[in-house]
Chain A
Amino acid sequence: MKAIAEVTPAAADAAPEQEWRPPSYWPFVVPALVVVLAVIVFPWVFTIWMSLNEWKVGSPTTFVGFANYLRMPNDPRFVEAVGHTLLYTALSVLLPLILGTFAAVVFHAKFPGRGFLRGVFIMPMMATPVAIALVWTMMFHPQLGILNYLLSLVGLPPQLWVFHPGTVIPSLVLVETWQWTPLVMLIVLGGLAAIPTEPYESAQIDGASVWQVFRYITLPLITPFLFIAGMIRMIDAVKSFDIIFAITQGGPGSASETINLYLYSVAFIYYDLGYGSAIAVIFFLLIVAMAALMLHLRQRTMWTEIGSGA
């Protein structure tokens, strides 16, 4: 009570001076504001402006309204690229999530050399994607690559991997999965460390099997973490460029051309900046929509899992 009594008069004193005056902090906001305007807002506004113009390097620009946007549905390469992007993203979110969760459960158990092995396991994540891509390209080589040699050891016929339109996306996802499973594992390991031990003890007393423990205790409790991992993976995968570009450049033909690669070709090889900008805008909206969906789903799992648990 005493504290309140002391505060009240001070507040009363301040009241007459409440007429508006520039807040004293706002000069300090200006630098950040300028930077945000210059590097985020301006490029975006400019991109949208370009997307409304026929803007080709070397020719005069003309305003064409939404013509660039209307080109997209009738552009088979763009439509195919959307399909490739969705397939590629779905696979390279799901596989690392499944394998990463499995790896996290394995590495959560205590066994000798665990720290060292964990270190080894996360090494792919640290490597440069382009360097990885070059190594994998050699491994994928149908005649000289090691993958077909390994297949031959177990009696399987040689595959064409990234050199066939039918297998190129799964093969690329293999590289993506190899590189990013450790990230999922790290996130899930963090989640596992936060789970209380009591549910496990009672499950043990009730005689639950290993699978039941995983399915009914571990999995629900780490779901929020899986969503975070899934979201990070999704945003990464949908934008993936380096691995695809370095291994296949979108080929064979255009079988692995994602929106990102097509966008690059349109803007920087065909120099069609207007159409390229329009694709970039749509691509951005797609990412935002997917991220919003994930956030929404995550919000719901938070309520049901943590909310009801607490």
Chain B
Amino acid sequence: MKNHLISRRSVLAGTAAAGALSLTGFPARAAEPQWKKYAGTKLEVILAKGPRGDNFQKNIKEFTELTGIQVESEQIPEQQQRQKAVIELASGKPSFDVVHLSYHVQKRQFEKAGWLADISGYMKDPNLTAPDLVESDFSAGGLQYAKNDKGQMHSLPWSVDYFILYYNKELFQKKGVAVPKTFDEMVAAAEKLTDAKEGTFGFVGRGLRNANMTLWTNFFLNAGGEFLDAKGGILTDGPEAIEATKLYQTLLTKVAPPGVAGFNWMESMASFTQGRSAMWIDGVGWAPPLEDPAASRVVGKVGYTVVPKGSKGQYSATYGDGIGIAAASKNKEAAYLLCQWAVSKKQGARLLQAGGGVPFRNSVLNDPEIQAGVKMPKEWLQSVIDSAKISKLGLPVIIPVAEFRDLVGAALTSTLAGADPATELKKAHEQFRPILERSEKA
């Protein structure tokens, strides 16, 4: 107990030492945080099922060894996890201290309801924060997600999902097609690659309502689209949206497998891994199953590259998840240590190397040693690094994201059955606008 008391002498000695360090010209290396301070605390964590959750649970013993904090965690399928988290947080007495959240769906909702604790103060406290964890290490998209409009951090960005173009090198070679650099080239390539008699198609992607929005926004952003105007009004019936929808309609009706209107990522991936579709645009996280001989017929034949350029630019639609602390938690400091560990360099490196996700931290992504340990093909890593440079949020930061995805998504699916893009978008827009206005008014 005695060593916890601070004597005047030790303070003086410490100050002198710190002064000496700063004199040497090296950056003052602050001490590690007091990891053990909250030993014996018990934390509850609610995770979405997936590689992040796996990576967390697999190595959680290391955290307990480091801090003496006990962690109980559960992984729940994404949709149910989102529901459970929202319902419990709304009740004011959540059963968990730490929550894994999907930024692209939940950011605005969590922020407006004030469900997450402000951790800006903790991040500046050297007793709680390791010296390498600084705001500037997170990518711009990550910070945009984690901060509220006052600039306070309410969560730590954990893993980012960029959309990239997967292509089947074998089919490309067979038809003598070059890897497309623009959407126009992509459509032309897809037409050449489509051979309905043989059952191979040029392009596959999400057609299912709601899920399809994450594909469409790539077309929308690259057509110069912005989701919201300066007043926060939604902008999904303008010329950019119509251009994007026409491209979406062309790709998914002319050069995609039949029934694509009902495809989510899973069905799209099945078509791609069976070698029946030559191109697929989806999240970066699917490389491990594509390169798994037990699940894929295209192992070693997959090319990875950034989403081609549109008429007005080239962006990678970005989604992501973070980890935050319930405002109602009684163990916020301990919970903060846990969040910090979850996004630590070591954990991030493991995630990246297994291909299970891409950390928001530049120090992980750009570390040559960590890069060398990546088990996925080099091209995959390159597509991730290139996407990071052109990253742009793939969904509007609003509360009713689910309604938005459902309504505009349904309009997109209707165009696959032959409906006119402009009419459908207008209809969805008219339906969605009052919902958005109501959500911001409340």
Contacts of B112 in A (CB 8 A): 58-59
B262 pairs with A143, CB closer than 8 A: no
In the complex with contacts A54-B442, A251-B413, A163-B262 CB distance below 8 A: yes
A249 pairs with B208, CB closer than 8 A: yes
B413 pairs with A58, CB closer than 8 A: no
Q: Which of B109, B276, B402, B417 contacts A58 (CB 8 A)?
A: B109
**A141 and B409 alpha carbons, distance in the complex (Å):** 21
A254 pairs with B83, CB closer than 8 A: no
Q: Nearest-CB distance from B422 to chain A (Å)? A: 16
Name the interface size band of chain A.
20 to 34
Contacts of B439 in A (CB 8 A): 56
In the complex with contacts A76-B431, A143-B259, A253-B442 CB distance below 8 A: no
A57 pairs with B90, CB closer than 8 A: yes
Chain A interface residues toward B at CB < 8 A: 54, 56-60, 75-77, 141-143, 158, 160-166, 248-254, 265, 268-271
Q: Nearest-CB distance from A156 to chain B (Å)? A: 15
A163 pairs with B261, CB closer than 8 A: yes
Contacts of B416 in A (CB 8 A): 252
Q: Mark B411-442, 1 if CB is under 8 A from A, else 0.
A: 10110110000000001000100000001001
- CB-based nearest A residue for B82: A269
Contacts of B261 in A (CB 8 A): 160, 163-165, 251-253
A265 pairs with B113, CB closer than 8 A: no
Contacts of B83 in A (CB 8 A): 268-269
In the complex with contacts A58-B90, A59-B113, A160-B259 CB distance below 8 A: yes
Number of interface residues of B (CB under 8 A): 38
**A188 and B149 alpha carbons, distance in the complex (Å):** 66
Cβ contacts A to B, 25 pairs, < 8 Å: A56-B442, A57-B86, A58-B89, A58-B90, A77-B407, A143-B258, A143-B259, A161-B259, A162-B262, A163-B259, A165-B261, A249-B208, A249-B209, A250-B209, A251-B209, A251-B261, A251-B262, A252-B207, A252-B209, A253-B261, A253-B410, A253-B414, A270-B400, A270-B402, A271-B86
In the complex with contacts A58-B90, A143-B199, A165-B417, A265-B259 CB distance below 8 A: no
- CB-based nearest A residue for B271: A143
Contacts of B276 in A (CB 8 A): 143
Q: Which of A143, A166, A270 contacts B417 (CB 8 A)?
A: A166
Contacts of B367 in A (CB 8 A): none
- Pick the 9 closest A-B CB pairs, nearest first: A58-B113, A163-B259, A142-B259, A253-B413, A252-B261, A163-B262, A59-B442, A253-B410, A142-B258
Q: Which of B258, B271, B400 contacts A158 (CB 8 A)?
A: B258
Contacts of A250 in B (CB 8 A): 209
Q: Nearest-CB distance from B208 to chain A (Å)? A: 6
A252 pairs with B413, CB closer than 8 A: yes
Q: Nearest-CB distance from A165 to chain B (Å)? A: 5
